[in-house]
Amino acid sequence: MRVDIVTIFPDYFGSHAAGEGPLGVSLIGKAGGRGDIDFRVHDLRGWATDVHNTVDDSPFGGGPGMVMKPDVWGDALDAVAGDSADPGGTARLIVPTPSGQPFTQDLAASYAAERHLVFACGRYEGIDSRVPAEVRTRMAVDEVSIGDYVLAGGEAAVAVMLEAVCRLLPGVLGNEQSAADDSFGAGAGKMRGLLEGPVYTRPRSWRGIEVPPVLLSGDHGAIARWRRDEALRRTAEVRPDLVTSLAADPDGLDARDREVLAEAGFHFA
């Protein structure tokens, strides 16, 4: 997969080659090192046309802050997405913005299946809205929010999205099952739609607290059931909105699931 990032702060992403910064370490660093992902970070100011390398201007209609200029962004995206090595140009543009659609595990999975992702990091009050509108006439464009809070720019959101995408690439995680079973597991996994429950490792007793005995029982059926019960309880406690979505597909809930949810205060017809 090829990943281009256009930003006015290329240093934010560190030096991939030196193994530093969000693209250089951990799973993402390894994926880059193996050549599974070809990262290219570009300084937006390289497409500015005046001596001050201006990338923003005051908003039409007035108001606070500055808006990023469409001419500079247009040239940058033509250069970065337009030279896609894929015949037919299959790049997908992702614009992080608090006013975008929510970033979800399903969206991460769909990005992991792409051949070329281009991230356009906005700053200030955002990018002139004609940019995504115009690019959309030629390629897929997603305006995406990583949560209901406002960051100073898209860079941190790109680091978040790339980490979620990279761990889904074949071979990156090592244990493929762990992606299928984690919270929001995008696979057809039996834990889909649930938060992950508690986990434990050695020692069996720590500061007087014992590991739940069922986990030591060797009874795989009982362990799987217990894990699902715990996942249901945790989801009911901290994300009742997810339980409501589960109930929309009643076939996904067995009798024991309903019992656990009823104890947590959720009753289904």
Residues designated as active site = 98, 125, 167, 182
HSE-up (13 A, CA, CB side) for residue 225 = 14
Using the rule CB under 6 A, is 157 a contact of ligand ADE?
yes
Using the rule CB under 6 A, is 265 a contact of ligand ADE?
no
Helices (H), 113-254: 130-135, 155-166, 176-181, 220-238, 240-247
Stretch that binds ligand ADE, among 104-112, 151-159, 206-214, 220-228 (CB under 6 A): 151-159
Distance CA 268, CA 244 (A): 10
Q: Which of 89, 147, 171, 250 binds ligand ADE (CB under 6 A)?
A: 147
Residue 118 or 260: the one with the smaller Cβ distance to ligand ADE is: 118
For 217, left (φ over 0), alpha (ψ -120 to 50), or beta?
alpha
Q: Hunting for tokens 């996994």 — which residue is that?
A: 189
Residue with CB nearest ligand ADE? 96
Of the candidates 219, 222, 211, the residue with the CA atom closest to the CA atom of residue 256 = 222
Using the rule CB under 6 A, is 120 a contact of ligand ADE?
no
Helix or strand holding residue 167 (H, E) = none
Q: Which of 118, 146, 172, 186 binds ligand ADE (CB under 6 A)?
A: 146
Minimum gap (Å) between residue 216 Cβ and ligand ADE: 42
Tell which positions 54-113 bind ligand ADE, by CB under 6 A: 96-98
Using the rule CB under 6 A, is 154 a contact of ligand ADE?
yes
**The amino acid at 251:** D
Using the rule CB under 6 A, is 162 a contact of ligand ADE?
no
Residue 74 or 98: the one with the smaller Cβ distance to ligand ADE is: 98
Helix or strand holding residue 105 (H, E) = helix 105-112
Minimum gap (Å) between residue 214 Cβ and ligand ADE: 40
Backbone angles phi, psi at 7, to 5 degrees: -155, 155
* Contacting positions for ligand ADE (CB under 6 A): 96-98, 145-147, 149-151, 154, 157
